[in-house]
Structure 1
Amino acid sequence: MTNTSQSEFDGIEFVLAMLDWLEQREESADAVDEAFDLLADERRRLLLQVMRTYSEELTLPDAAEEVAVRENGCKVTELSAERVANVYISLYHDHMPRLVDAGLIEYDQERDLVIPVEVRDNTL
C-alpha cells in the first residue's frame, strides 16, 4: 500500500466530486475548460471570493488589499505597501481583464471600481 498524503487525498476527492458534479450538468467541454482556466489561479479565485463576500463595488486598492490579506493569512496592518501594490498591479494587468471578459465582474476604470456581477444584475 502506498502512503498518500492528506493533501493528495483531498485533491483526489475533489477531482472525483467535480467529475460527479459535471456528469449531472450539460455544459459544453469549452465552457468547462474556460471555467477551470479562470479558476486555475489562486489570485483570481481570491478576488472572486472577495467580491462575493462584500457583494458590493469596491475600489481596486481595497480589493487588492483584501486579496493580499487572504493570500498571506495575516492582518492588513502586517502587510507592506509594496506587497499590496504588487497584488494591485497583478489584478489590474492580468486577472481582472480575464474576469471582466468572462462577465464575472465589471471594472469602472474612471473610478477604479470593481463591481461584482450580482450588484449589476440587481440594479437593472
Structure 2
Amino acid sequence: MTTPSYPEFDRTEFVLAVLEWLEGRENSPEAVDDTLDLLAHSRRRSFIRVMRTYGEALTLPDAAEEVAVRETGTPVAELSAEHVANVYISLYHDHLPRLVDAGLLEYDQERDLVSPAAIS
C-alpha cells in the first residue's frame, strides 16, 4: 500500500512539531493515543471545525450538511440528499458519540441538537 503524497504538507515536520509540543506536557500515553484517535478521522475533524466555526447549537442535519459541503467543496444546493443522509448517519452513529464522550460536544437527542461543550 502506498501512502498518498501531499506536496504542500511536510508530514515529517508536522509529526516532529506535535512530538515537541507533547514533550512539554504531562499526559499519559493513553490520553495522547485517545486524543490522536479522536483526530484521526477527517470527518470528525471537519465536524469539530464546523461546531467551532458556528460556536452555537446546530441541528444535527444542519451540521451534517455543512460537513458534507466542506468535504466535497460543493455548494449545499448541489449536494445530493443521499450524500447528506450518509454524512448524517455516520455523524449520528460514529463520530458524535465519540466527541460527546470526549467532552467536546453536547447532544440533545430529543431536539436533534448538537452544541460545543462548555470548556472551562
Is TM (by shorter chain) over 0.5? yes
Q: Which has the higher helix share?
A: 1
Offset at residue 28 of structure 1 (A)? 1.1
Which string of whole-angstrom CA distances, capped at 9 and with x for unpartnered residues, describes residues 48-72 of structure 1?
0000000000000000000000000
Offset at residue 12 of structure 1 (A)? 1.0
Give me the whole-angstrom Cα distance separating, in 1, the residues matched to 2:73 and 2:109.
29
Structure 2 letter corresponding to 1:92: Y
- The equivalent of 1:91 in structure 2 is 91
Structure 1 letter corresponding to 2:82: E
- The equivalent of 1:102 in structure 2 is 102
TM-score by length of 1: 0.87
1:70 to 1:6, Cα distance in 2 relative to 1, 3 A: closer
- The equivalent of 1:42 in structure 2 is 42
- The equivalent of 1:57 in structure 2 is 57
1:56 to 1:86, Cα distance in 2 relative to 1, 3 A: same
- The equivalent of 1:10 in structure 2 is 10
Offset at residue 117 of structure 1 (A)? 0.9
Superposition misfits of 4+ residues, deviation over 4 angstroms: none
Point out where structure 1 has 5 or more consecutive residues left out of the alignment. Answer: none
* Pairing of 1:106-121 with structure 2 (within 5 A): 106-118=106-118
After TM superposition, the structure 1 stretch with the greater mean CA deviation from structure 2, 11-20 or 56-65, is: 11-20
- The equivalent of 2:68 in structure 1 is 68
Structure 2 letter corresponding to 1:25: R
Give me the whole-angstrom Cα distance separating, in 2, the residues matched to 1:7 and 1:27.
32
Offset at residue 7 of structure 1 (A)? 3.7
Q: Determine which structure has more spread, i.e. the larger CA radius of gyration.
A: 1
> Percent identity between the aligned chains?
72
* Superposition CA RMSD, Å: 1.6
1:92 to 1:8, Cα distance in 2 relative to 1, 3 A: same
TM-score by length of 2: 0.90
1:47 to 1:9, Cα distance in 2 relative to 1, 3 A: closer
1:86 to 1:33, Cα distance in 2 relative to 1, 3 A: same
Q: How many residues align?
A: 116
Offset at residue 8 of structure 1 (A)? 8.5
